[in-house]
Amino acid sequence: MKKMENILILIFVGIAVILSVVWLIPYKAQEVNVLSESKLVLYEGPKSLKTATEADLKATSEQLRPFDLMKSGNTFLDVNGQSCFVYETNVNHTRQWVSTYMPPISRTPIAYFDFEGRARLKITVPDITLSEVAISPLKYDIQPEVDVENHTVTFDITEPDTYTLTFNASPDRAFHIFANPLESEMPNLEDPNVIYIGPGEWQVDTIDLKDNQTLYLAGGAVLHGTVQANFAKNVKVMGRGIIDGSFYEGWKGKVAYIPLKFDNSDGVSISDIIVLNSNAWVCQAFQSKNGTIDGLKIISPRPNGDGITLQSCEDFKVSNVFVRTWDDSLVIKNYGTNSRNISFESCQLWTDLAQSMEIGYETNKGNLTGSEISQISFRDITVLNNFHKPVISIHNGDDAVVHDIVFSNITIENAQMGSGDGDEMPYLIDFHIGQSSNWSTTKARGIIKDVLVENVAVLNGKFNDSRIQGFDATHKVENVTIRNLTILGQAIKDGDTGRFMIDDTTTTNIKFE
């Protein structure tokens, strides 16, 4: 123990310029062998977090109640008989833009732990009368044991994943449970290139990573601040802890405090951490390459709260992420150079406002000659909810050539496009070339071509229209194949059956299979 204390002291002295301690609660992760085939790691949350009261749960502007991350006082989780810490974070159920940037904000509980083998989860919600409980992803077909009298829900899991409980068919107070695999890779804390943030509550301005540095955020840690790198190589952010932006004032179109920001960098790696309450968008890379984002969890409630935004990047892989946002969830844009070879795989999305998978609108913000967005794929994506605008979209608002795009194995559990002011773009699929007073930079228009949409299923919700429309006879949407699309159980074999609005004068070779 003495050796560990000495190591931590040396590390903290090295980063003292940027790091100031708010509260530190020493804590050791507990490994509990509950069942012979199971291992479990729990992380206690900071004791400095306030327990949320009924007033703290009120859906109102952040100016009218505390916005802080809190401990839950009315949602409880036991895993294999052990109590698991439950947080209260902010979410946004408003389905329309609020010009004051102060929409009413609600709260929802979250929890996390690591396990291997089997985990038995028991959720207690004393304030909810349980008439119906659904557990996503629906692919697991989990049928929980519901005790109405004692307000409990019990079920087993064997696969590490994010599990979301919704009560009584309402998105309110949905419980997000991040059930992680056991941690297999930890950095050497004696390495001078490792910045260690231990359990407890911390406040920083910015941690600016340099070449070959690793930020390790331990389970049980809550870091209020931002992490960035610019013109850096081989930087990592990893661990089980939380980055929280609730201490910052909302963006309001002024200053964005981006929790994870990586510009002009090579070899960026982000894994497993949780990001909550960002004051604007959450995870951004600009003109960076050779990046991996794996196991990241995001919940953003504020305006312009885009989840993962890759701008003019190449050779990025995003996998196993959970993204719930009050703006676009997964986004590709050209703000400078071209975007190329970017994949999103095995992701879960919950999109409260805007679009789930979006390319555009800004496809040539840098006003370059020969702008392209190419080799972009979205595969094995589960959309738990999409409440506002399109689920699948390509919006070419500039003169770029957007081509070789794949959307494959997409499951939409609840399609509610068109809610609120989303009725201006209430589409399931939207491929459109246009000119926008808000987003376009170039005078000329571009094209969209060589797009595959396959194995897409809408399980519940609305049967909405889709749109495929170019700009004119020269700037078209070309060579789009839609294969094995099923909407509410109906196989879609042609545009009419699928309620596609296809502009014949600005499109070429749109096929259904």
Q: What is the CATH number of the domain that holds 411?
A: 2.160.20.10
Pairing of strands 477-487, 490-492: antiparallel
Q: Does a structural domain hold residue 191?
A: no
Q: H or E element: which one contains 462?
A: none
- What are the DSSP E strand ranges found in 362-506? 372-386, 392-396, 401-412, 429-433, 447-458, 466-469, 477-487, 490-492, 500-502
Question: Are 131 and 280 in a shared domain?
Answer: no
Q: Are residues 176 and 249 in the same domain?
A: no
Q: pLDDT class for 35, splitting at 50, 70, 90?
A: low
List CB contacts of 173: < 8 A, sequence separation 6 or more: 75, 108, 109, 125, 128, 167
Mean of the pLDDT values across residues 147-175? 98
pLDDT of 247 higher than 80: yes
Q: Are residues 420 and 305 in the same domain?
A: yes
Cβ-count burial of 55 within 10 angstroms (0-12 exposed, 13-18 middle, 19+ buried)?
A: exposed
Q: What is the 3-state secondary structure (H, E, C) of 151-172?
A: CEEEEEECCCEEEEEEECCEEE
Token digits of residue 482: 């839609």
Exposed / middle / buried, residue 44 (Cβ in 10 Å: 0-12, 13-18, 19+): middle
Strands 274-276 and 297-299, bridge-based pairing: parallel
Do residue 145 and residue 292 come from a single domain?
Answer: no
Q: Above 90 in pLDDT, residue 19?
A: no
Mean pLDDT to the nearest integer, 416-430: 97
pLDDT at 16: 36
Residues 277 and 171 in one domain: no
The whole-number average pLDDT for the span 47-65 is 96
* Cα–Cα distance for residue pair 153/143, rounded to 1 Å: 10
Report d(CA 49, CA 125) in Å as an integer. Answer: 20
Q: pLDDT band for 37, please (50, 70, 90 cuts).
A: confident
Decide if 165 is inside a domain.
yes
User: 170: buried, middle or exposed (CB in 10 Å: 19+, 13-18, 0-12)?
Assistant: exposed
Is residue 457 exposed (0-12), middle (13-18) or buried (19+ Cβ within 10 Å)?
A: middle
- The DSSP H or E segment spanning 119 is strand 119-124
Model confidence pLDDT, tens digit, residues 376-403: 999 999 999 999 999 999 999 999 999 9
Element (H, E) at 90: strand 86-91
Q: Would you state the structure tokens that stand for residue 374, as one six-digit string?
A: 């190419």
Q: Indicate the burial class of 172 (C-beta count within 10 angstroms; 0-12, 13-18, 19 or more).
A: middle
Q: Are residues 134 and 250 in the same domain?
A: no
Place of tokens 């608002």: 397
With tokens 């879609």, the residue in question is 492
pLDDT value at 28 more than 70:
no
Same domain (yes/no): 277, 375:
yes
DSSP β-ladder status, 86-91 and 82-84? unpaired
Does 254 share its domain with 162? Answer: no
Residue range 291-301: average pLDDT?
98
- pLDDT given for residue 496 in this prediction: 98
What is each CA distance from 230 to 208, 287, 495, in whole angstroms?
8, 10, 46
Q: What is the mean pLDDT of residues 226-251?
A: 97
Residue 346, pLDDT > 90, answer yes
Going by pLDDT thresholds of 50, 70 and 90, the confidence category of residue 36 is low
Are 377 and 269 within one domain? Answer: yes
Residue 27 included in any domain: no
Phi first, then psi: give them for residue 195, nearest 5 degrees: -100, 115
Once rounded to an integer, what is the mean pLDDT over residues 304-321? 98
d(CA 348, CA 356): 10
Q: Which residue has the higher pLDDT, 329 or 13?
A: 329
Domain residues for the domain of 174 are 33-181
Q: Are residues 65 and 146 in the same domain?
A: yes
Whether the pTM exceeds 0.85: the reply is yes
Is residue 404 within 8 A of residue 374, CB to CB? The reply is yes
Residue 57, classed as helix, strand or coil, is helix
Provide mean pLDDT across the span 469-495. 98
Q: Is the peptide bond before 361 cis (omega within 30 degrees of 0)?
A: yes
Stretch 153-163: mean pLDDT, rounded? 98
Type of residue found at 72: S
CB atoms < 10 A from the CB of 252, how many?
15
Q: What residues have CB less than 8 Å from 220, skipping those under 6 apart? A: 25, 27, 29, 43, 44, 45, 46, 85, 198, 199, 200, 240, 241
Domain membership flag for residue 214: no
| Residues 276 and 399 occupy one common structural domain | yes
Structure tokens at 261: 């920001």
Residue 507 lies in a domain: no
CATH number for the domain harbouring residue 129: 2.60.350.10
Count of domains forming the chain:
2
Q: Answer whether residue 217 is part of any domain.
A: no
Number of C-beta neighbours around residue 73 at 10 A: 18
Residue 345 lies in a domain: yes
Radius of gyration of the chain (CA): 23
- Peptide linkage before 137 cis (omega within 30 of 0): yes
Strand partners, 430: 393, 467
> Distance of CA 133 to CAs 78, 139, 149, Å?
17, 15, 14
Instruction: Answer yes or no: is 489 within a domain.
Output: no
Q: What is the mean pLDDT of the chain?
A: 93
Q: Using 50, 70 and 90 to split pLDDT, how confident is the model at 32?
A: very low
- Is the Cα torsion angle 286, 279, 383, 355 positive or negative in sign? negative
- Dist. CA 222–CA 245, nearest whole Å: 10
CA distances from residue 459 to 23, 249, 408, 485, 489 in whole angstroms, order as listed: 46, 38, 16, 11, 7
Q: Residue 338 has what DSSP assignment?
A: -
> Is the domain of 165 the same as that of 255?
no
**Residue 31 binned pLDDT confidence (cut-offs 50, 70, 90):** very low
Tell me: pLDDT of 53 over 70: yes
